């Protein structure tokens, strides 16, 4: 699999999102998925301290074992966990990292990401603390998540001469093109890597959901009290997903292939991370990177899901 840059790191074009670990997958099934990813050439694993109520980090570290040094591990901090306050204060940053290192069973994190902006803490203070962690050898690169273009600009000048965020992880997919308004341009101009989350729109871009048909049972969007269903199972989005599915099939591919290939053809995108609950899903995700879309493909996609507009 090809690799791309996130700061000084080289990551596989397709990464593995670890949000299912500790929630939908126990330790044994997590290991199956992680091992399948490694066999498929995936070297980028993205988790967070809040995933699986901290079990995701634990299960990931256990599954990687002796192969830890051969992969890129990204995790996040800032969301409240275990009844704590969360946030991005210097004291909390260091506390959160040490806890993540223990769970991951490692002495460093390759990419340490602020999960969301903290309006109560000046970003310069957060960057200062993260810089200290880099100096200590506990973190290699730092990133952000859910940042606006304005916030990306602010962090690039917050502490001149100090480490800066090398990436931003925001929602982006064929059905959610908002980053095109400003964020992608900001990333391109400043050399910040963009990591899209929800690249499959919560599973809507897998071909399982078809217009005019009841949604399949046993999926993430049809689980009881699913928090994602109201966001993605909308009539217009299901219709668009159906048209994209037809486009992909007309070219001998799946809509999942299309979702990955389209994102990998967008400016600043470094790696497409998606969760998986089986080895088969991991292999399908990895294979999707082999398709390079043509200009005609991009134009047809724009007809179905128009670019974001202010």
Q: Which of 8, 6, 29 is nearest to 18 (CA)?
A: 29
Output Rg (C-alpha) for the chain, integer angstroms: 19
- DSSP 3-state of 134: helix
> What torsion do the CA atoms of 165, 59, 259, 267 make, to the nearest 10 degrees?
10
Angle CA(19)–CA(23)–CA(25) in degrees, nearest 5?
90
45 φ, ψ (degrees, to nearest 5): -120, 120
Q: How many CA atoms lie within 13 A of 282 on its CB side?
A: 25
Active-site option among 51, 92, 172, 197: 51
For residues 91 and 133, the answer to whether their CB atoms sit within 8 Å is no
Token readout for 55 is 């079990």
Residue that the structure tokens 């990687």 belong to: 64
End-to-end CA distance of the chain: 36
Q: Is 92 a catalytic residue?
A: no
User: What DSSP state is assigned to residue 201?
Assistant: G
For residues 56 and 81, the answer to whether their CB atoms sit within 8 Å is no
- Tell me which residues are annotated as active site: 51
């Amino acid at each position: 699999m090809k690799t791309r840059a996130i700061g000084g790191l080289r990551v596989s074009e397709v990464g593995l999102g670890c949000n299912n670990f500790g929630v939908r997958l126990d330790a044994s099934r997590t290991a199956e998925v992680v091992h399948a990813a490694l066999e498929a050439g995936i070297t980028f694993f993205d988790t967070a301290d809040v995933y699986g109520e901290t079990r995701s980090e634990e299960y990931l570290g256990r599954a990687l074992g002796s192969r830890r040094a051969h992969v890129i591990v990204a995790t996040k901090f800032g969301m409240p966990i275990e009844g704590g306050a969360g946030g991005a204060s210097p004291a909390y940053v260091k506390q959160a990292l040490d806890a993540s290192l223990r769970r991951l069973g490692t002495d460093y994190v390759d990419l340490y990401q602020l999960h969301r902006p903290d309006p109560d803490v000046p970003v310069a203070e957060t960057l200062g603390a993260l810089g200290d962690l880099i100096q200590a050898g506990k973190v290699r690169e730092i990133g952000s998540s859910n940042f606006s273009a304005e916030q990306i600009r602010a962090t690039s000048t917050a502490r001149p001469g100090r480490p800066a965020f090398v990436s931003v992880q925001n929602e982006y997919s064929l059905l959610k093109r908002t980053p095109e308004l400003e964020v992608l341009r900001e990333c391109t101009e400043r050399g910040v890597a963009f990591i899209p989350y929800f690249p499959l729109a919560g599973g809507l871009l897998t071909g399982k959901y078809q217009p005019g048909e009841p949604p399949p049972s046993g999926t993430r969007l049809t689980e009881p009290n699913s928090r994602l269903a109201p966001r993605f199972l909308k009539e217009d989005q299901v219709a668009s997903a159906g048209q994209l599915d037809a486009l992909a099939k007309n070219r001998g591919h799946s809509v999942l292939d299309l979702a990955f290939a389209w994102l990998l053809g967008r400016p600043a995108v470094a790696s497409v991370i998606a969760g998986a609950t089986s080895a088969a899903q991991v292999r399908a995700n990895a294979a999707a990177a082999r398709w390079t879309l043509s200009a005609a493909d991009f134009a047809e996609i724009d007809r179905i899901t128009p670019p974001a507009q202010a």
